[in-house]
Amino acid sequence: MIQDAAARALLWADPEPAHRAAIAALKLGLGPRDPGPDDAILATRLGGLQLSNCVGLAAGFDKNAEVPDAMLAAGFGLVECGTVTPLAQAGNPRPRLFRLSEDRAVINRLGFNNQGLEPFAVRLAQRRRKGVVGANIGANKDSQDRIGDYVTGLERLWPLADYFTANISSPNTPGLRDLQSGPALDELLGRLAQARAALTAAQGARPLLLKVAPDLVDAQIETICAAILTHRLDGAIVGNTTLSRPDHLRSRFKSETGGLSGAPLMAPSTLILRRFHEASQGRFLLIGAGGIASGGDAYAKIRAGAGLVQLYSALVYEGPGLVRRLKRDLAARLKADGFVSVADAVGAR
């Protein structure tokens, strides 16, 4: 595929300019096309949303909602834009994005760099709304009311996005992960639930998810599951980037600060996903993210408890043609094991 070759060529450029070049090419209509239709075995649901396949684009690729339709055309079943904060912010100083090529991994300390809610909202409003696009919402670094920032994002984008994810697990905004436990988590989900109820009554329902870290211990997992059930969220994305550094990393960038994503995250994030599945007893949706680079990886997430999967870092190394290959491989694996749908395989040992 030409686009895959172009993606590999961008590996020679600095990561951030390369990413901007990829976004620019997609805006010009130069992205890949997956004409479909998707294999029926891959169809699934996110709340009340019907998806033609269970493979999503994770937040972080399209922070400013510039190319969601282009990524849907590439074959994703859903695209999550963001993280977006109420006010524009530049993020952390450069360099802040590193490819660990030997490890098929990425470290970033971007710090929620984005153009803010208003440009994001305008672009979503201009969409023709074909395909499922979610908004990943966050808090400004210097906000005096971080929980209020999430409510602001929810209210501004409610009529424009198909679902929402509250990102409380980025390691690159100091103190943000404190929202994953204790009274802060309960307050956050309580205020989001209150805002959601009013918005649903006025404008219709939208699924609401929580994005959590892969660095959690069992007690935190139990607390988060209980809070999700208490406040009636639709599910959780497990997980974000990790602060841990496996001993086997080889790249010269392995000691850079920030969140690690890509292949080294596959095993630990899948373990945490399984623990979430056990703790939740299947009572809400789990989306598996972290390290997915093949149909086999996606299948492992599903069997660990994920009803949907998301990827991003693997595109850096595999190119956009990965999406079609992954879906084909996943469908074959599901059929080979006698499953008739993704839902049937969720949590299967």
User: Which residues have a catalytic role annotated?
Assistant: 170
Question: Which tokens is 284 given?
Answer: 């809400």
CA distance 18 to 10: 6
Centre a 10 Å sphere on the Cβ of residue 246 and count the other Cβ atoms it contains: 14
Is the Cβ–Cβ distance between 317 and 103 less than 8 Å? no
- Class of residue 63 by CB neighbours under 10 A (exposed 0-12, middle 13-18, buried 19+): buried
CA geometry: angle at 266 spanning 69 and 79, to 5°?
A: 10
Nearest-10 Cα torsion for 135, 137, 140, 144: 140
Query: Environment class of residue 4 by beta-carbon count within 10 Å: exposed (0-12), middle (13-18) or buried (19+)?
Result: middle
Quickly tell me which residue has 């599945």 as its tokens: 277
Alpha carbon dihedral 116, 117, 123, 124, in 10-degree steps, equals: 140
> How far is it, in rounded angstroms, from Cα 153 to Cα 136?
9
CB atoms within 10 A of CB 6: 17
Specify the DSSP class assigned to residue 126: T
Query: The tokens of 285 are what?
Result: 């949706």
State the pairing for strand pair 308-311/259-262: unpaired
Q: With contact defined as beta carbons under 8 Å apart, do 199 and 158 qualify?
A: yes
Distance between CA atoms of 236 and 223, rounded to whole angstroms?
Answer: 13
Residue from 17, 15, 110, 114 nearest 65 by CA: 114
Q: If DSSP codes are grouped into helix, strand and coil, which group holds residue 188?
A: helix
> CA 53 to CA 123: how far, in whole Å?
24
